[in-house]
Structure 1
Amino acid sequence: MKMDTKAIIERAIEIHRTNIKRINDGIWSHPEPAWKEKTAHDLVCDYFESLGPDYKVTRHAYNIETSFLIQATYIPPVASSSSEASCINPPTIAFNAEYDALAKILVEGSNPPEYKPGHACGHNLICSASVAAFIATWEALRAWNFPGTVKLIGTPAEEGGGGKIKLLRAGAYIGVDACLMAHPGPPFSDPNVLSVAFTRSTASQKVIAEFVGVSAHAGMAPWLGRNALDACITSYTNVSALRQQLHPSTRVAGIITHGGTAANIIPDYARAEYTIRATKKKDLEDLCKKITVYHLPEISDDPGSASDQGNVSYSVPAMQAAFQIMSESVNHTPDFMRAAGTEDAFNRALNVAKGLAGAGLNVLTNATIRKAVKDAYDRDITEKAQAHIRDYSTELPSRDRIAQMLESSIPHLRPTYEAGVVSTHEAIGALMAADAFPF
């Protein structure tokens, strides 16, 4: 008789609670920005290596210095008669663990203002929830004598670095039946809601505008100068005026990051940075064209901070749940950073981990649910592909054309696609995730 699922999950998390808290606090107290998450990487890898051979630990996974892969596969010594999965090719789920910090959070009370890295988006809690869910799912598989593979993927550089996009291109999600994670936020408007199962992210793009002028002394010979800051401010004002005509589903936010070095010197260099968001990629590109002109620097290849879990959802069935922590401010603020380091926030992350583990187990152990998830993903990707085709006035590519595009953008996927392991839906989704579709 199978043990109660909830009891197995809760017991597994409670056994590892102290060590997960140590990882959580270590990440929060040593905030590391994108691509520099060495402490976080080592904390997680060291712990799973200490647990013995059940967990296969790969440091610096996928040729990414601060990524890791922890994998556990259970094959029953004697296959269960009620097993719905093949022991030869067991189902696979993955939990994404984020752990990068924001690079610049205001040090409160500092004058002049000082900034330092900080976990003002709660990625320490994301990591803790995924670690706990991963362990609990693995323990439940063993308790049930049920075949399956569980992965914990270390996903660095979510904050503006597009870490999951690099992982997608490296093949980290090939063969994954579902990918799960959860993200903290401030309290919901309804006090009775503690968490939500699914969230929707937007397409996001960073635009950097640089202006180069001619320096001159503002008091002695200003007519010799060409004021880069004036040009920067004029463009900023024009972008601000554009907001009046923007659709409610789009967003443009910007700051001036450099405006000169001395008040009596006409600036010869100025710099502005914008984040542009839209619910559809085509709308994002159209909006970027309105804001940029031909002689500005090229737009960054990587999406901004909306969430690169959205890219993963194009490649495999994926979810990002949301849970509240008790902060009086929104994410990316000093108050949220403080809240993310509290015992209460950690407890909430572990509670969410129980739900993630339960959802993951449903996918692993129930073929009907697994098929429903896959069918829903296929329908969704088909609809997205058709929308892209309409938006770009193109046609659905042939199978040979898809193979060619995989070869040029995600070459490791081509053999599995041609062998039929990766479906056309999955191939198109992967191409969209890697920004290689439409053609």
Structure 2
Amino acid sequence: MKETYLAINDTSNGLLSNDTAKETPTTRGTSKLLAEGELATARETVSAIIDELDAKLHDLNKTIHSHPETAYQEVFAHQTLTDFLGSQGFTVTPHTYGLDTSFEAEIGSGGRLIIYCAEYDALPNIGHACGHNLIATASVAAFIGAAKAALKLGIAGRIRILGTPAEEGGGGKAKLIDAGAFKDEIAAAIMAHPVPSHSYQDGYTGLAGFKLIASHKLRVEFRGKSAHAGSEPWNGVNALDAAVAAYNGVSMLRQQIHPDERVHGVIEHGGTVPNVITDYTRMNWNVRSPTVQRADALLVRVKDCFEAAAKATGCTLNYIHSPTYADLRANKTLCQTYVEEMAQVGEKVKVMEYKPATASTDMGNVSYTVPSFHGGFAIPAPEDVTGHHPRFAEAAGTDAAHEAAIKCAKGMAMLGLRVLMDPEIASNARRDFEQFD
């Protein structure tokens, strides 16, 4: 992979070029423990960089929010984000790893490598109801804050931002893993997700140790035989009956699954007109369980429902599998470091939630590949609203939500810098990853 670097040598704002940063005698990365003064300087620098860009970041956020695009169709967001990073002096590689709407930018050479993951896809019909506009904004701000601070302060290491399309069901990060986007020795992959503020109690405004469950994603096709529904229905094989039988079978199965498991699906194609026997139907299903192993076992039971429906109706059955989402593993060292940094910007963040939420993300796959951080930050939302709701899409476009994303960005920027600056944090994060229980 070709390395790209930020080429800045502007003495008016104190930034150093990448080469200068490598040669300066103040280069960090070898000290065992960091003096509090060094951390304070880094925090002040990151905060100043992000604050100076806040108005432009706000425009970026609103622009993406107002142009929602679904999985692998994020053409506008891809262009908007790459243009923004280019305007800040970064060399950006578009269309990376064989995905048209992925991108990458990087500064530094040698030392440890950290990656900020940016999501920016939306949900069909209800827009940014998972707040990926905020994820993109926070990750871009964190990357710029960490990168420019590293150059200014002479902090050794590499800092990368990776555009990760199609989190909403498309498995973008799983495909990026397969394509080699995470093949390097990576000290930490970092991102955070907005969550409605009423999800947190006791004064908490965020969660570091976000845990989510595994999810199999698949489409199911039933094929039958068309016939006139009025004059000769006996000559048809009804694929709609197969889909309905499959749905009802799964509905009965739900009574016998564990409370922390989920199976849910929709009929995407159910036929055309009522006076023709339907010869083709397609369903879209998620099969979720706390671990991939349990999800595998549940998937076998769910497929029994599909196969029974096909046999009962005489239809043929075909599966179209999407990438499986692994359960999201929380790294204790990265979580604790993030909590410390969020306290510095006045936010009370919970270190760990031991009971996983019954949702899924392809960042789970990353957490099985490299040491990873996937936090949650609170945004104001109505009491009866959570993610994947039209009113959460509205909440994700508010000024208050942007303010929360910017605070999160400062915490993530410092989390990344501390992984680069402090070998003990990097070592402990690697240990937590390798010895995860």
Category of TM-score, reference length = shorter chain: 0.7 to 0.9
Matches within 5 A, 1:98-177: 98-105=119-126, 118-173=127-182, 174-177=184-187
Identity of aligned residues (%): 41
Q: Which one of 365, 380, 388 corresponds to residue 311 of structure 1?
A: 365
User: Could you tell me whether the CA contact under 8 Å between 1:126 and 1:349 is conserved in 2?
Assistant: yes
Deviation at 1:357, TM superposition (A): 1.3
Equivalent residue of 1:34, what SS?
coil
Q: Which one of 334, 349, 352 corresponds to residue 405 of structure 2?
A: 349
Deviation at 1:147, TM superposition (A): 1.1
Unaligned 5+ segments in structure 2 are 1-36, 308-315, 326-358
What CA deviation, in whole Å up to 9, does each residue of 1:56-112 have, x standing for no partner?
Answer: 3212222321111111227xxxxxxxxxxxxxx31111100011111333xxxxxxx
Counterpart in the other structure of 1:364: 420
Matched, 1:300 2:335: no
Output the amino acid matched with 1:313. Answer: S
Change in Cα spacing, 1:62 to 1:255, as seen in structure 2 (3 Å) is: closer
Counterpart in the other structure of 1:94: 115
- Rounded to whole Å, the distance in 2 between the matches of 1:216 and 1:245 is 37
Deviation at 1:326, TM superposition (A): 1.9
What CA deviation, in whole Å up to 9, does each residue of 1:103-154 have, x standing for no partner?
Answer: 333xxxxxxxxxxxx1111111000000111111123323432212111111
Number of aligned residue pairs: 353
Matched, 1:331 2:366: no
Deviation at 1:167, TM superposition (A): 1.5
**Which is further off, 92-101 or 256-265?**
256-265
Q: Which one of 182, 185, 188 corresponds to residue 178 of structure 1?
A: 188
Q: Which one of 230, 236, 247 corresponds to residue 241 of structure 2?
A: 230
Counterpart in the other structure of 2:208: 197
Equivalent residue of 1:7, what SS?
helix
TM-score computed with the length of structure 2 as normaliser: 0.76
Output the amino acid matched with 2:189. Answer: C
Matched, 1:266 2:303: no
TM-score computed with the length of structure 1 as normaliser: 0.76
User: Could you tell me whether the CA contact under 8 Å between 1:252 and 1:274 is conserved in 2?
Assistant: yes
Unaligned 5+ segments in structure 1 are 75-88, 106-117, 384-439
Q: Which one of 71, 78, 84 corresponds to residue 106 of structure 2?
A: 71
Matched, 1:33 2:70: yes
User: Could you tell me whether the CA contact under 8 Å between 1:160 and 1:303 is conserved in 2?
Assistant: no
Equivalent residue of 1:270, what SS?
strand
Counterpart in the other structure of 2:431: 375
Equivalent residue of 2:107, what SS?
strand
Deviation at 1:170, TM superposition (A): 2.2
Q: Which has the higher contact order (CA 8 A, sep 6+)?
A: 2
Q: Which one of 56, 61, 72 corresponds to residue 24 of structure 1?
A: 61
Structure 1 segments (4+ residues) deviating >4 Å: none
Equivalent residue of 2:124, what SS?
strand
User: Could you tell me whether the CA contact under 8 Å between 2:371 and 2:433 is conserved in 1?
Assistant: yes
What CA deviation, in whole Å up to 9, does each residue of 1:343-393 have, x standing for no partner?
Answer: 11111111111111121121111111111111111112xx5xxxxxxxxxx
